[in-house]
Each structure stands twice: as C-alpha cells, then as structure tokens.
Structure 1
Amino acid sequence: MTSAPDYTYGIDSERALKYAVQHIRGDRVEIIEGIIEPVSPTWDHERAARVVRRQLEDRVDELGCVEGSGNLDLPGSSNWYVPDIAVVPEELARGGGALLPDQTFLVVEVTSESNAESDRIVKRRRYAEYRAPLYLLVDRIEGSITLFSEPGHLGYTRVDGPHPFGAVVRLPDPFNLDLDTSGLSPA
C-alpha cells in the first residue's frame, strides 16, 4: 500500500524522515508509524535473539543467505524497521542499503517492555502488508512464540501459535526446521 508523498513546503516528508534516521550518529533508530524509536536492546533481549539465530545459522548458510538486523524500508509509509533478525539472500545483503520486507525469507522480532505492542500489532500488520513471507514473534513478555505466514493486505492468513516457551515450532519452506524454544525465557 503506497500513498502519495507529502510535499509540504516542497519537501517529501517520508524521504526526509528516512534520510534523517539513516544519518543519526551513534545509536540506531527505527521509525514506527512516524515516531522515531531508539533500537537499544537489553542483554536478555539479545540472548533471546541469539537462541533463535544459532538454530538458523546452518540452514541460512545452505540457502545462500545471511541473517542480521539490517534496515527494512516500507516505502509509501512512515516506517523504517530494524528487525532483531532478518534472513535475506546473500546477493541482496551486499548492496549496503535498506531492503524491503518481501525481499526477506524470515523476519524475527523479540519483544521488550518498551516495544511489545508495536511488535505484536503494528509490525505484524505492516510486515504482512509489505509481504514478508514469515514473521516470527518471540514474545518475552508473554513467554510465547508465534509464527505468522501467508501475508496479505489485511494481515497474515496463517498463524501458528502462540506456543509457550519450551515448545518446538516448525519453520516451513525454505527452512524446514524445528525451532527449539526451550532456551528462551520470559522477560
């Protein structure tokens, strides 16, 4: 879903905002529905992302992909995300710029007290709208994990979960991987 650029005073505000967040020195930031948010995960948050990342590594290599937390642009909206993990084809990761959600194989967000509602509601809706094929929500607040797939403009049409931490969650093609969540712990 794209909207017409806002050229108030001859300036494309979406482009200006996204340019600005890419040039902030120091901390990384993302834009969620027009609000600039710092990306400053805690060690517990990073530990949860690591539990998932380590289980993906071998399969990611086999697929010729990389996993990381690079920038995702959502053109036509005031959103610029920095997911906790995104799996993208190696050749796309070499460009240095932001990618689009539909260029990913998987996007993973890990909740914190400060961003749980954004990850559960806003990002889930936007990732579906921009066709991220798989969205894995690791909800540390609820102690659960949910896999969303089959994206559409009204959201994801397939939901697997929420499963309590400790359950095994199957990641479908192209991963075909059982994700063991026993190493995850609530916030």
Structure 2
Amino acid sequence: MLPTPDYDEGIDPERALKFAVRRVRGQRAELIEGVIGDTFHCWNREHVRHVLRTRLSATVDALDCITGSGDLDLPGSLNWYVPDLAVAPEELAKGGGSLLPGQTLLIVEITSESNAETDRVVKRRRYAEYGAPLYLLVDRLDKTVTLFSGPGRLGYAGVDGPHAFGTPVRLPEPFGIELDTGGL
C-alpha cells in the first residue's frame, strides 16, 4: 500500500494545482471550478481579438495600459483563467506572474460552442466576485455583445445588453468611449 500524502505539512494544494496547470500540459490551460481545460484560439476568435485590440488601442495607450491574455488567478478557489483579452495597467503587467481580476480595467471573453455556458455563467460570476470592473461578453453563437459592470459578491449590478453585433456599446470611464462592435 502506498503512503497517503500529508497535505498538512506546509503544502498548499491550491497553489500546487495552479502551478501544475501552468506547466504540465506544455501549453496554456485554464482551471475552471477545479477542471483543467485547454485554451484554443481558432482564427475566428483571433479575428475578434484583433478587431477589439485595434479599436481599443488608442484609449488603452492613453491610459498607460496594455491588452493581452495573461493569466488571472482567483485565490482561494480552484480557478486560474486565461481570458481572451484583458486590459491591465502597464506597471502591473511588468511585474511578471499573474494578475487578479480586480487589477484589470476590462476583461473580454469570446464564446465558442465548447465554452459558451462557462463564459456566460461561471466566468461572469467569478469575475464579479473577484472585482473585475468591466466584463465584456462577445457571444459568437448569439452574435451579441453584453457589458457587465458594478462587480460584487453576488454578481454584476449593471448589465448593458445583449446588443446585436454592429451596435455601439458604451464603455464607461476610464475608457469613456463608444466601442464599435461591427465586424465581430
């Protein structure tokens, strides 16, 4: 009989699992409610990411921020997310490692058939719980965009949408812009 590992000897199971998820698979992976999942970026999703990056770039630069899809840790949970796109302060991004959702200015998730409900329900709830100020859901299946704002422990207080692709969506301060959603 093999000995059972003793986790009471200073090993943090959450931290060990998140460390393994980032390294074992040899590619980027997420941990969603304790389940390891791969992050796939098909060309259609890359197109949406490119369009959004291009349309946000001047504002993001003026805010001394960057756009990317760096790791987001949700401490105290079995969640480690790789958003499709996030806007974060450049100074925080230079620090290396992961960020917390509340350290971002905007998080964008782009649905696919395999992850639509996760993006619509699970990630929306968790991003709100961990203080992400704005969550933009680009639903490629429904061809809609929804902006969630006002995060709290029970979810987002503000919901703007769903809006059909092509409808401008107002991103509040610090962005203060109308985001063109045409061509997504």
TM-score bin (small chain): over 0.9
**Alignment partner, residue 78 of structure 1:** 78
**Alignment partner, residue 151 of structure 2:** 151
SS state at 2:7 partner: helix
Aligned CA distance change for structure 1 residues 46 and 167 (closer, same or farther; 3 Å): same
- Structure 1 residue 9: Cα displacement: 3.3
**Alignment partner, residue 9 of structure 1:** 7
CA distance in 1, matches of 2:6, 2:153: 28
SS state at 1:36 partner: strand
- Structure 1 residue 180: Cα displacement: 0.9
SS state at 1:9 partner: coil
CA distance in 2, matches of 1:99, 1:55: 23
CA RMSD of aligned residues (A): 1.2
- Structure 1 residue 50: Cα displacement: 1.3
CA distance in 1, matches of 2:49, 2:66: 15
Decide which structure has the larger Cα Rg and report it: 2
**Alignment partner, residue 89 of structure 1:** 89
Letter in 1 for 2:101: P
**Alignment partner, residue 4 of structure 1:** none
SS state at 1:31 partner: strand
Structure 1, unaligned stretches of length 5 or more?
1-6
> TM-score, with normalisation over the residues of structure 1?
0.92
| Identical residues among aligned pairs (%) | 64
User: What do the CA deviations read for 1:7-65 (whole angstroms, capped 9, x no partner)?
Assistant: 96334221111010122353200100000000111110111111111111110000000
**Alignment partner, residue 167 of structure 1:** 167
Kindly indicate whether the alpha-carbon contact (under 8 Å) linking 1:85 and 1:108 is maintained by their aligned counterparts in 2.
yes
Q: Which has the higher contact order (CA 8 A, sep 6+)?
A: 1
Number of paired residues? 178
> TM-score, with normalisation over the residues of structure 2?
0.93
CA distance in 2, matches of 1:152, 1:25: 33
